[in-house]
Amino acid sequence: MTRKVALVTGASRGIGRTIAVTLGHDYEVLGTATTSAGADKITAMLEQTGGRGYELNLVDPDSIHSLLQLIKTHHDAPQVLVNNAGITRDKLALRMKEEEWDDVIVTNLTGVFRVTKGVLRGMTKARWGRIINLTSVVGSMGNPGQSNYAAAKAGIEGYTRSLAAEMGSTGITVNCIAPGMVMTDMTEELSDAQKDAMLSRIPARRLGTTEEVAALCAFLASESAGYITGETIHINGGMYMN
């Protein structure tokens, strides 16, 4: 029996990497990276489960179109999409340049729209689909120096609710996962004082793991999550409670 295809953007490191590996147990995973070297790394990582990596520039509509054409040629249409890729350009709003705002909005928000639109037809034809958008606790709480990032993530959540309402009768669910502080390469580089400051804001008194986020993603991608749509599910150890 042919396995469903899952497309995971930003799969070469961090949360995206763990999600790609986790979904690889049940799906044919196609992961993206911003460079050919990153795509090759994903292919090697997913070799045992039959997945592969592709290069993708979310800012470039032609790059998105080329990726979707390659998938159409070599794979079945994706029935699971995990929009994970994103960037930061942190700076206080008063000092933020327009290009720093635009870079984050176009990559993190417009990129999600473009990739999602590209896979919707296949999901609609199959009458089944799972779209999972990685946002952030920052989209709900805000964070000094990240007004562009927070705006993009909050925008994804609004887009998710609207798309869920549009797709509800087609068997397609659309949800967000909003991680809080998670152990990644970036957090490992923080000083002990910085880590202590972060932990003081988290009732669980620890950082989350990429495996915990990936497990939630795998559930939302499953048949069992078919009655969950339009939701933002926070995973942050109690840092933000709604």
**Catalytic annotation, residues:** 149
Q: What order of strands is seen across the sheet that includes strand 78-83?
A: 52-55, 28-33, 5-8, 78-83, 129-134, 172-179, 232-235
Within 8 A by CB and 6+ apart from 8, the residues are 16, 19, 20, 23, 29, 30, 31, 32, 82, 84
Closest CA to 119 of 71, 54, 155: 71
| Entry field: residues in the chain | 242
Rounded-to-integer distance, Cα 224 and Cα 218, Å: 10
- List beta partners, residue 83: 133
Give the residue carrying structure tokens 């984050």. Answer: 104
* Own/partner pairs, 87-90, CB within 8 angstroms, 24+ separation: 88/146, 88/149, 89/148, 89/149, 90/145, 90/146, 90/149
Q: In terms of DSSP bridges, do strands 28-33 and 129-134 run parallel, antiparallel, or are they unpaired?
A: unpaired
Rounded-to-integer distance, Cα 187 and Cα 173, Å: 32
Strand (E) or helix (H) holding 49: none
